[in-house]
Each structure stands twice: as C-alpha cells, then as structure tokens.
Amino acid sequence: MTASPTRTVLAAGLLMALIALTGCGGGESPATPPDAKADAGQAEAGHDDAHDEHEAPERTTIAAAMAEQAGIRVAPVVTGTIADEHDVQGLLTPVDGRVAQVMARFPGPIRSLRANVGDRVRAGQVLASIESNLSLTTYTVSAPISGVVLARQAQVGGVAGEGSPLFEIGDLSTLWVDLHIFGNDTQHITAGVPVTVSRMTDGVSQATTLERVLPGTATASQSTVARATLRNDDGQWRPGAAVKARIVVATTQAAQVVPLSALQTMDGKDVVFVREGDTYTARPVTLGARDANTVEVRGGLALGENVVVAQSYVVKADIGKAGAAHEH
C-alpha cells in the first residue's frame, strides 16, 4: 500500500523534533536537566580517573623463567627480631701466652739460620745453630711452640749474646680483637653480647661473642676496650690490622619483618613487591624499627605473603616501563 502524502509529512516532522531534542550535530539539548549534566560530568571524571590509574599501573607480570634469569627472589613475611646495634672499630692483636721468643743459650757466632719471617714452624723444629764460645761446640736452638715466625733478629755470621733473642714466633690460629668504645655506649655494652667483626681489606665477617670489657682506659683514645676472640682459619686476620665491628646490645621482637633489600620507593611511599603467581604488585607499607639488615613492617602486609627480597629494583623498573609504554 502506498503511504499518503499527509502521513509522510507527519513522519518527517517527528524525526526533526527528535533530532532537536537529542542535540544531534553538537548542540546542547535545552531540555537537559541541570542534575543530569552534573551526573554526566561526574561520570566523565570517573572515567578519567580510571584512565589515569590505568596509565600508571602498580603491578607487572614477569614470567617465572625470566624472573629466575634476572635473579629475582622472594621470601615470605615472617616474625623476627630487630637488633639494637652499635658500630665500633678495633685492632687485632696476638693472644697473650701465644707469642714466644727464641733465645740463644750461650754466646757465640751464629753458624746457620733455618727460618725466615712468615715461615710456619712446629714445636721442636730446629731454627738455628750456634757455636758456643764456652765449649767451642755447636748447639741448636729449636722452636718452643708451633706458629708463624713474626720476627728474626739474627744474621748468619753474627754473634749471639747469651739470652739474646733470635726469633719471635706467634701462634696466630686465634687472635684477640680489641674494640674501642666511646661515650654512653660504655654504659650498656657488656660481656656476653654478640659481635660481628669485619675485615677492612675484603669485607669478610666473623661472628663471635664479647668476652670481657677491660677495666682500664686506652690512654691515646680515651676509650674503653672490649675484647673478643677470633678464629684465624684462613690466616688473613693479621695482628695490627684495623677492623670494623657491630655489637648487638639488645633485640626486640617484631610481628612482621622483611629484609631491607625488599624496600623500594614509589611516588614518595615505601613499598614492597608482593608476588602472586607471575604478577608482582607494589604494596605500600608502614615501617617501624630497623637494623642493618631487617625492617619491621607495621602495616600493609600479612604473614606468609611472598615479597621480592632480591633484585626488587628490577621489578620497580619493569612497572615503570609498563607505565611509560601505556602513556605512548
């Protein structure tokens, strides 16, 4: 059936009215209520916030094989202790009673010397032969202890006097470390507390226990001397060398701790990276006390959650790259 001209005109008029009401072509509909405009603006703002959040992601995905190759390691959040530590310096010295002088028994010319400085010798080993001026016979001088030759005061052809020192031998298998303590630290550092001593040459450390605090004061430095014993298994702890030490005065229990290596800063906040599967998420945390290795976490984590404890900066960089890539 063919539409009548009158119906066609009515339909065209209705279509034009609808276009005007909907604001087609960019014009604003005069019939739009103010409340509807506000709602639309809020919706648009919400969309922008979501877009901004998407532009700055706080998580990234790293495949397990790639994480292993990058050296990323995780460990669970655990309970632990925070140590009250004091950093001091000290000197290594031989242990009293473990240094011996090798003496000539009778005066006379030295016919031979069989050890040099640095040689290891054993107790009873012959070190020199001397011709006695009294008997005109040659006698030998032996090492009284096992150890290392620290000094040699004689030369072949020289004359040894009666009781004159020929060698000094030290048993350096263990050494004393004398630590110098100043100020208020002297009031609460006592015997029996743990101490970790580090070589300045290569940073190698050894844990030991403070044995005693000496009653006197070191004249030159006006410090109190605290003493501990070190094993010298590798022979690299040398008498007279300066060392660093960390004395643990007390420890405090903490409900949650993570290694300092887990911490990073993002947008001015302390964060750690929590791993779930292959996803690493930046988690803001509230921190408490810390020591040289560990920090207390007072908020933001739960016991048992796996956090990145090695190469955390790699995860931070990957999150940064993800955000930069999205901006472009």
At 95 the three-state DSSP class reads: coil
Residue listed under structure tokens 């300066």 = 242
Do residues 209 and 89 share a domain?
yes
Domain closes at, from 251, 283, 316: 251
| pLDDT tens, residue order, the chain (328 aa) | 444 444 433 333 433 333 333 333 333 334 444 444 444 444 444 444 444 444 445 999 999 999 999 999 999 999 999 998 899 999 999 999 999 999 999 999 999 999 999 999 999 999 999 999 999 999 999 999 999 999 999 999 999 998 889 999 999 999 999 999 988 778 788 899 999 999 999 999 999 999 999 988 887 888 899 999 999 998 999 999 999 999 998 889 999 999 999 999 999 999 999 999 999 999 999 999 998 899 999 999 999 999 999 999 999 999 988 666 555 5
Domain presence at residue 40: no
Domain closes at, from 195, 220, 251: 251
Do residues 290 and 304 share a domain?
yes
CATH of residue 281: 2.40.420.20
Do residues 199 and 307 share a domain?
no
Contact 36, 42 (CB under 8 A): no
Do residues 159 and 214 share a domain?
no
Do residues 234 and 90 share a domain?
yes
Do residues 205 and 89 share a domain?
yes
At 270 the three-state DSSP class reads: strand
The pTM (predicted TM-score) of the whole model is 0.62
From the list 266, 265, 252, the residue with the least C-alpha distance to 294 is 252
Q: Give CA separation, 233 vs 29, 31, 45, 237, in Å.
A: 90, 92, 69, 9
Domain presence at residue 30: no
Q: In sequence order, which ranges of the chain are alpha helices (DSSP H)?
A: 5-22, 34-55, 64-70, 185-188, 312-327
Residues 133, 127: Cα–Cα separation, whole Å = 19
Domain closes at, from 228, 251, 274: 251
Residues 224, 281: Cα–Cα separation, whole Å = 49
Do residues 246 and 177 share a domain?
yes
Domain presence at residue 23: no
Look at the chain and report how many structural domains it folds into: 3
Do residues 213 and 224 share a domain?
yes
Residue-number span of the structural domain to which 263 is assigned:
55-83+253-327
Contact 237, 175 (CB under 8 A): yes
The secondary structure element, H or E, covering residue 42 is: helix 34-55
